[in-house]
C-alpha cells in the first residue's frame, strides 16, 4: 500500500511512515524523513536543544532508578542563570573573572544519518563543543545545585582528569556546596 505525505506531498510506501495506532490507517500523516527533519529543526533551537538535554537526564535517571529533582522550567532557569554569568561559555575554567579562558559552547543538533559515537544516538553526530549537562558531584543525584553546564569534550575528559581540572572541580564544588552560591 502507498500513502501521500502531508508535508512533502510525495506518495510513498507505508514502510516510510511510522506506525500510529491513533491514525485512521494506522500510520502518521508525515513520512519518516519529514518527521525527522522537523524534529532536527526544532532541536537546533535553544529551547529544543535544552529540552533534548533535559530528556536525556530524565532517561538516565529512569535507567539508574533515580529521581530527577527538577522540572524543565527549573532546568531552563538554571541555564539562563549560567548564561547570565558565563554567556555561551563553559563553566569549566578559572571562574567568571577570567571568562577569556573559558571555552565557547554551541547548541547544534546534527542528525545527518551518521552512526553516532559512543554515548551518541544513532543517526546523530557528536559535536565536541556542544553544551553538555553534567553532575558536578557524580555521587549526588540530579539536582539544580549539582548541575554544571560545560562542553561535551570537557565532560568526556573527566575520565582522565588533569590536576588543573581537579582544581577547577574543587573550586566549583566549594562554591556550590560550601559557600552555597548555587544556581
| Angle of CA points 105, 108, 112, to nearest 5° | 145
Where do runs of H (alpha helix) occur along the chain? 32-43, 46-63, 72-86, 152-157, 163-173
- Look at residue 114 in the predicted model and tell me its pLDDT: 41
**Do residues 163 and 148 touch, judged by C-beta distance below 8 A?**
no
Listed residue (100, 101, 88, 106) closest to 164, CA to CA: 101
Q: What is the pTM of this model?
A: 0.72
For residue 121, what pLDDT is reported?
56
Task: Measure the CA–CA gap between 63 and 84, rounded to whole angstroms.
Answer: 32
Residue among 144, 126, 25, 67 nearest 13 (CA): 25
Q: Which residues contact 21 (CB under 8 A, 6 or more apart)?
A: none
Q: Which residues contact 115 (CB under 8 A, 6 or more apart)?
A: 122, 123
Instruction: Write out the chain's pLDDT in tens, 183 residues.
Output: 899 999 999 999 999 999 989 988 899 999 999 988 888 888 889 999 999 999 999 999 999 898 889 999 999 999 999 999 999 999 988 888 899 999 999 988 775 544 444 445 555 567 889 999 998 888 788 999 999 999 998 888 876 676 677 888 888 888 888 777 656
What's the half-sphere exposure (Cβ side, CA atoms, 13 Å) at 4?
A: 2
Amino acid at each position: 500500500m502507498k500513502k501521500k505525505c502531508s508535508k512533502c506531498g510525495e506518495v510513498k510506501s507505508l514502510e516510510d511512515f511510522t506506525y500510529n495506532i491513533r491514525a485512521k490507517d494506522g500510520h502518521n500523516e508525515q513520512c519518516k524523513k519529514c518527521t525527522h527533519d522537523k524534529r532536527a529543526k526544532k532541536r537546533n533551537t535553544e529551547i529544543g536543544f535544552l529540552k533534548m538535554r533535559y530528556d536525556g537526564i530524565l532517561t538516565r535517571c529512569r535507567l539508574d532508578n533515580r529521581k530527577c529533582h527538577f522540572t524543565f522550567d527549573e532546568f531552563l532557569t538554571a541555564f539562563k542563570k549560567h548564561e547570565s554569568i558565563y554567556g555561551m561559555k563553559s563553566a569549566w575554567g578559572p571562574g567568571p573573572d577570567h571568562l577569556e579562558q573559558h571555552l565557547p559552547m554551541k547548541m547544534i543538533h546534527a542528525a545527518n544519518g551518521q552512526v553516532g559515537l559512543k554515548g551518541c544516538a544513532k543517526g546523530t553526530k557528536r559535536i565536541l563543543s556542544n553544551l553538555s549537562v553534567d553532575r558536578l558531584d557524580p555521587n549526588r543525584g540530579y539536582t539544580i545545585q549539582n548541575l554544571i553546564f560545560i562542553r561535551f569534550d570537557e565532560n568526556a575528559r573527566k575520565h582522565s582528569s588533569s590536576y588543573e581540572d581537579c582544581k577547577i572541580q574543587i573550586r566549583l564544588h566549594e562554591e556550590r556546596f560550601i559557600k552555597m552560591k548555587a544556581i
